[in-house]
Amino acid sequence: MAQAFFCLLLWVPWGSSCPPSCQCTERAGAKAVVCSSRHLEEIPKDIPKDAVFLKLDANSITRIPSNAFRHLSHLEELDLSRNAIEKIDRAAFRGVAAGLRTLDLKEALLALNAKLRLANNPWHCECALQEVLWEAQLDPDSVQDITCHTAPREEYVGKPLLQVLDAGVNFCSVRQRTTDVAMFVTMFGWFAMVIVYVICYVRHNREDTCKHVEYLTSLPSTQ
């Protein structure tokens, strides 16, 4: 009995427990931990080590302490938007920075009263980063060192973001044009459907009228 109990303990996935205030699910074979809108004031301590997606948005978190996510070596997407973040410790993202593909901190950065230093990070130059550069209080001495690690076009990679923007590039207008094209295609599709419906309706009525006329002409005439 004791041996069976010991084997059972070895089988239990200790790193896969879910925090009481969160919901853990599987998404395409990867673990997603959703802690959105749970009135959290700090980052949960018992987030599963195999978490790939972590949503902590719409809470009351005020600080991201050092090593807050260090044990989450598989983490790729982290959402910390719509919080009340006032302080981000220097080593807040130690252990996960290399693997993160998406980090949503926009509202937090714009709400901070302190000057921000965003230099020497592997930034993806896009509309969201451009908006932060326009709206946030950045340290003037570090702005020139915000470099495009990746970008929609290869020619921007490795260049300072400020230099790219000074050359007339507007990442937000690219997104707007894409949205406009999508709306145009949708409207054109609906318009085409209406035209096809009208044509079919007219043809159907014409056929019914012709059949009715043929029927009337086939009736014996009366004196």
Please report, for the domain that includes residue 94, its CATH number.
3.80.10.10
In-domain check, residue 64: yes
The pLDDT of residue 111: 66
4 within some domain: no
The predicted-structure confidence for 188-211, as pLDDT tens digits, reads as follows: 777 778 888 778 777 777 777 777
pLDDT at 22 over 70: yes
Which pLDDT belongs to residue 219?
63
State residue 110's pLDDT score: 67
Say if 176 falls within a structural domain: no
101 domain-assigned: yes
Amino acid at 147: T
Residue 213 has pLDDT above 90, yes or no: no
Q: What is the pLDDT of residue 44?
A: 93
Q: Whole-structure pTM over 0.85, yes or no?
A: no
Q: What percent of the chain has pLDDT over 90?
A: 32
* Residue 2, pLDDT score: 38
Dist. CA 123–CA 103, nearest whole Å = 11
Q: State the chain's maximal CA–CA distance in angstroms.
A: 110
Q: Give the model's pLDDT for residue 186.
A: 75
Q: Is 186 within a domain?
A: no
What is the predicted pLDDT for the residue at 12? 36
Q: Is residue 3 part of a domain?
A: no
pLDDT in tens, 38-94: 999 999 989 999 999 999 999 999 999 999 999 999 999 999 988 888 888 888 888
Average pLDDT on 174-200 reads 69
* The pLDDT value given to residue 137: 76
* pLDDT beyond 90 at 1: no
Q: In what order do the strands lie in the sheet with 23-27?
A: 23-27, 30-34, 51-55, 77-79, 102-104
Mean pLDDT score, 122-142? 82
Write the pLDDT tens digit of every residue in 141-164: 888 888 998 898 899 999 999 899
In a domain, 84, yes or no: yes
pLDDT tens per residue, range 98-123: 778 887 776 667 666 667 777 777 78
Domain that includes residue 79, residue range: 23-169
The total number of structural domains that make up the chain: 1
